Amino acid sequence: MIRAEQITKTYRTKRGDIQALSQVDFQVSPGEFVIVKGPSGSGKTTLLFALGGMLRPSNGAVKLDEHDLYSLTRAQRARVRADRIGFVFQMFHLTPYLTVLENVMLPLGASKCGATREDAIDLLNRVGLDHRLDHRPAELSAGECQRAAIARAFLRKPSVILADEPTGNLDPDNAKLIMSHLNEYAQQGGAVVLVTHGETGEEYAHRIAIIRDGRLEIARS
Amino acid sequence: MNIIRLILKEIAHRKMNFLLGALAAAAAVTLFTAFFTSSQASQRETIRLMRDMGYNLRIIHKNADMSEYWSKGYTDLTLPQETAELFTKEKDLMFTHILATLKKPVEWNGKRIILVGISTEVSPEGKKKPSMIFSIKPGTAYAGYTLAQEMGVSRGDTIELGGKPLKIENTLQEEGSESDIFLYVDLSDAQAILNLPGQVNEIKALDCYCQIPGVDPLDMMRQQVAAAYPDVKLFQISSIAKARMDQRHMLEMYFAWIMPIIAVACGVWIAAMVMINARERREEIGVLRALGYGSGKIAGLFLGKAILIGLIGACAGFALGTIMALRIGPAMFPETAKSIQTDWATLRWALILTPAFAAVSSFIPTMLAVSQDPAETLRPE
């Protein structure tokens, strides 16, 4: 349902061009949990942002249900992200001046998807943060921050969750908890793409792709 | 969560940034308010000071010998008294405070003094202004300081000059000029004493500082006078005119340069605050983008904050500026202190212009914030 077709991304720098992605074909379907592995600088995050409509490829197309994301206007692409795509980041990126509950509800400011405050509280219950609703991110542990970020990504029930090293800053117990939440999301019909440089979550993955120097290979399907 | 709530939450979180921005806006409004509130007093004070410098134009007979005029201080050639009245009927005349005088030396008790007859000051239609000189009733006189000292006259005395009794209405303070030996009388009395009925030998006036770009005002006045009254000529006491012009220029330059500089400095300050704020919030902007917030909503976060900075700055600045003007103004402009009052119109304008100005100042940093690449800011280190 989300598909990258022959995408290439070249960063132009003063020290010369950097080829981050090279003719990458990739797709993920509903209910599928795909892990993209690769060392730092291999192009994992670039691929994730390109899939999420946040980074225009130099060549190729990214299609969500056959609609080319990058033929849309910026505003239309923002709308697609609001309605269809959820992000989870390694650094959590919670808004520091909002409470946990307000952070989870933040996506509702971008699109009215029918989700409510009660849905946000319910999600926070499910990730074990019901006692932290009114806390600020600075008052949470790293694991709690990432669980809040997961709840934020899940709130609008997006078609696809794009997770960038979501367990990179977590201890093994919290990492396992996050992976189980992502796995549960995939089991409920959502698509999950997770990029990582480690071994995290391989037991949940339907497919594992390896990315090296911007080229993608299937390691396990 | 709506944009306004987000703005308020962010302000509460980054209080110092908001306070510094509001301080810039308040500083600009304080200075504007203080200047504008006291500007009426300042203008009146300036006009008063300029007026006190005296008449800077002279109109005399066209054939008057200027060497003789300057050496004697008057000309023997006279003009009809009505000439001064006729000037008041001219349209677009570039001078006001028109005063017809008759000035000649006379003998009094064996001493040579200067008799100056003055009429009531007149001005062109629509340009009526308070007289710059005291008015003298017929049958009375004002004695210059030295004259009064040397002749031993004081207020209330009655003297006789040319067979005409004159009551000394007042003796004048020392001026340190030739006027210290003047005896001022009503024009009709001077005409009678000098046996020059209906005649004057000098008309004094004050130019109106009506500047027209590319036109020399003196040339213009000369043309005006020559066209209507070919028998007269006009000249300017340039030291007085220059002092007036310098004073006016100084005030105008003050408002024309200082205030825009203050406004620009405060605008740059606000823009810098927004820029710093936008840099601090790069990740937040990236997340909002990732969550599907459009450019308009993200720009709204920054512009909304700038508008709030402007509104608070306008209120605080107006209050501070008004207090400053009411406290300090009377000491600076003691003669016209009464005209310093709370100017509510300034508040209205401040409430409109300051938020608009703050929004304009923060426009570039806002656009930079909106256009920054979210993939770059959200990329893990």
What's the rounded mean pLDDT across residues A27-42? 92
On whether any CB of chain B is under 8 Å from the CB of A55, the answer is yes
A80:B292 CB<8 A: yes
Indicate the pLDDT class of residue A53, thresholds 50, 70 and 90.
very high
Task: Please tell me the predicted confidence (pLDDT) of residue A191.
Answer: 95
Q: How far apart are CA A18 and CA A124, in angstroms?
A: 41
**How is A109-142 classified by DSSP, letter by letter?**
GT---S--HHHHHHHHHHTT-GGGTT--GGGS-H
Confidence class for position A221, pLDDT limits 50, 70, 90: low
Closest CA to A50 of A221, A219, A216: A216
**pLDDT tens-digit readout, A161-182:** 999 989 888 888 888 888 999 9
CA atoms of A175 and B313, how far apart (whole Å) = 48
Between strands B140-143 and B164-171, the pairing is parallel
> What is the tens place of the pLDDT at every residue in A62-85?
999 888 999 999 889 989 999 999
In angstroms, the CA B66 to CA B58 distance is 12
Instruction: Identify which of B189, B79, B195 has the alpha carbon closest to the alpha carbon of residue B142.
Output: B189
Nearest Cα neighbor of B14 from B273, B359, B283 is: B273
Mean pLDDT (chain A, rounded): 91
pLDDT, residue B158, reads 92
Asked whether the beta carbons of A203 and A20 are under 8 A apart, the reply is: no
- Nearest 10 degrees: CA dihedral of B176, B178, B182, B187? -120
Asked if residues A87 and A164 have their Cβ atoms less than 8 Å apart, the reply is: yes
Q: Note whether A93 contacts B286, CB cutoff 8 Å.
A: yes
Of A45, A93, A108, the CB nearest to B1: A108
Q: Do A110 and B293 touch (CB under 8 A)?
A: yes
Chain A residues 181-210 within an 8 A CB cutoff of chain B: none
* Sign of the CA dihedral running A85, A90, A96, A99: positive
Mark yes or no for CB contact A96/B13 under 8 Å.
Answer: yes
Q: CB-based contact (8 Å) between A146 and chain B?
A: no
| The predicted structure's pLDDT at residue B241 | 62
B87-141 residue pLDDT tens: 777 777 778 888 899 999 998 888 889 999 999 888 877 777 777 777 889 999 9
Smallest Cα distance from A22 to chain B, Å: 18
How far is A215 from B335, CA to CA, in rounded Å? 85
Residues A185 and A161: beta-carbon distance below 8 Å? yes
Kindly state the tokens that stand for B184.
Answer: 């001022």
Instruction: Sheet with B232-236: list strands edge to edge.
Output: B158-161, B164-171, B140-143, B182-186, B111-118, B95-108, B202-207, B57-61, B232-236
**C-beta atoms of B283 and A91 within 8 A:** yes
CA dihedral (B121, B127, B132, B136) positive or negative? positive
Q: Which of B12, B13, B378 sits opposite A93 (nearest CB)?
A: B378
Nearest residue, CB atoms, A95 vs list B2, B287, B294: B287
The residue in chain A having the minimum alpha-carbon distance to the alpha carbon of residue B296 is A75
Give B358→chain A minimum CA distance, Å: 23
Closest by CA position to B361, among listed B284, B285, B306: B306
Better pLDDT: B372 or A141: A141
Contact call for B291 and A82, based on CB within 8 A: yes
Do residue A79 and residue B13 have CB atoms under 8 angstroms apart?
no
Of the partner residues A54, A79, A165, the one whose CB lies closest to the CB of residue B374: A54
Asked if B378 lies within 8 A of A105 by C-beta distance, the reply is no
In this prediction, residue B186 carries a pLDDT of: 94
Of A75, A107, A152, the CB nearest to B294: A75
> CA nearest B100: which of B191, B226, B223?
B191
Mean of pLDDT over chain B: 85
Q: What is the pLDDT along chain B (381 residues), one digit of tens a residue?
A: 788 999 999 999 999 989 988 998 899 899 888 888 877 777 666 666 655 667 888 999 999 999 999 898 899 999 999 888 887 777 777 788 888 999 999 988 888 899 999 998 888 777 777 777 778 899 999 999 999 999 899 999 999 998 899 999 999 888 888 888 999 999 999 999 999 999 999 999 887 666 667 777 778 888 878 877 888 898 888 766 666 667 767 777 777 777 788 888 888 888 888 888 888 888 888 889 889 898 888 899 889 999 999 999 999 999 999 999 898 888 887 777 777 888 898 899 999 999 998 888 888 888 887 887 777 778 765
